[in-house]
Amino acid sequence: MSLGLDSPWRGRRVFLTGHTGFKGSWMALWLTQMGATVCGYSLAPPSDPNLFEVARISECVHHIEADICELPRLRAAMQEFAPDVVFHLAAQSLVRRSYAEPVLTYATNVMGTVNVLDSIRHTASVKAAVLITTDKCYQNREWQWGYRENDRLGGHDPYSNSKACAELVSAAYRDSFFPPDKLGVHGVAVATARAGNVIGGGDWAVDRLIPDLMRGFIAGEQVAIRNPHAIRPWQHVLEPVRGYIQLAERLLAHDASFTSAWNFGPDEEDARPVEWIVRELAKQWSPDASWAIDEGVHPHEATYLKLDCARAHNLLGWRPALALSGALQFIVEWFKQWQAGSDMQQITLDQIAAYQRLSKYDLPISNRS
């Protein structure tokens, strides 16, 4: 992978919450490869095994194991590191867990976001911040068209609703403490990013489709599938991560027009039913891969949800680079390499490099086609 002397991330100091999670681990590895110095702040990895340990992310970042709900510690860590950029990914991110632990979900996703924003407010070095929520933050009416950034926020379950609250908190802090008209003086450029149903190698989360399938296929066990007809905007984890990084670059350039909410989702044809994903992955994995529909009663989950990403396409220059079929190939290859005992840091870096060739992300923004 070529970094280039003109990499906008060479020498940047990045404070990344949630770096021990699935998406955070991919992001930490990519940022360090582009020359950034990354401080990760997060709880211990959420599963065993996990991408953070398997890909040896701790070798690449300054690792702080702590809770974003502990404001004094979070603020002190951020001030000591003195970052240029903050990416906030730490969250309770599982819908089904939010039904079992709603108080924890709101505490982490709402007050955790407050704590991050208030720590930014008291850290003079910060120039830009991207706070990650979810596509589920919208009041979902099961529409057949995508939600735009100015559509009404809501959320049926505690997870989705808490992320809508996090969006409101971010907007209030931006309006109150980081007004866009002060960016060139002493302000912080703050934006939020909404993406969901990210998939990729190294995801072992509980009650998520791809991890459940991979665990079952590797163990040679039949996998029970719920909500087979639910349609989701599936995308490889590197797609929204690239969007977050590109958005941060624009914020660092003091462009006030980017201090708002942004959707990052796949193309129309990659919004597919759960059952289609299961069949395709089973076909790619092995003729012996087995699954069945779970007919039990489950908590409410949306049947149909997709995003309108025209803003990111037209203003940010971001578009999906990896079709869903290619994303599934990446996943199967990653887990087969893990099963074979390969060096998973190198395999993960190889997939980042392959994705960069597709997205042309290793070129400066001004030179991209």
Give the pLDDT score at 268: 85
12 torsion bin: left (phi>0), alpha (psi -120 to 50), beta (else): beta
Give the pLDDT score at 184: 54
Give the pLDDT score at 134: 92
Query: Of 27, 38, 96, which Cα lies nearest the Cα of 348?
Result: 27
The structural domains of the chain, ordered by start, are 13-359 (3.40.50.720)
pTM of the model: 0.92
CA 55, 61, 67: angle at the middle one, nearest 5? 95
- In whole angstroms, give the CA distance from residue 160 to residue 238: 22
82 torsion bin: left (phi>0), alpha (psi -120 to 50), beta (else): left
Query: Of 132, 96, 111, which Cα lies nearest the Cα of 18?
Result: 132
Helices 158-177, 112-121: crossing angle, 10 deg rounding: 20
User: CA of 367: how far to CAs of 317, 355, 360, 363, in Å?
Assistant: 11, 18, 10, 6
- In whole angstroms, give the CA distance from residue 53 to residue 344: 10
Give the pLDDT score at 143: 76
- In whole angstroms, give the CA distance from residue 282 to residue 270: 18
50 torsion bin: left (phi>0), alpha (psi -120 to 50), beta (else): beta
Give the pLDDT score at 172: 96
Question: What CA dihedral angle connects 97, 103, 108 and 113, to 10 degrees?
Answer: 130
Residues of the chain with pLDDT under 70: 1-6, 183-186, 294-303, 361-369
pLDDT tens per residue, range 214-267: 999 999 998 888 878 888 889 999 999 999 999 999 999 988 899 999 999 999
Q: What H or E segment, with its residue span, contains residue 277?
A: helix 274-285
Residue 175 dihedral angles phi and psi, to the nearest 5°: -70, -35
SS3 content of the chain, % helix, strand, coil (to 5): 45, 15, 40
Question: What CA dihedral angle connects 29, 34, 36 and 37, to 10 degrees?
Answer: 50
Query: Of 19, 18, 30, which Cα lies nearest the Cα of 238?
Result: 30
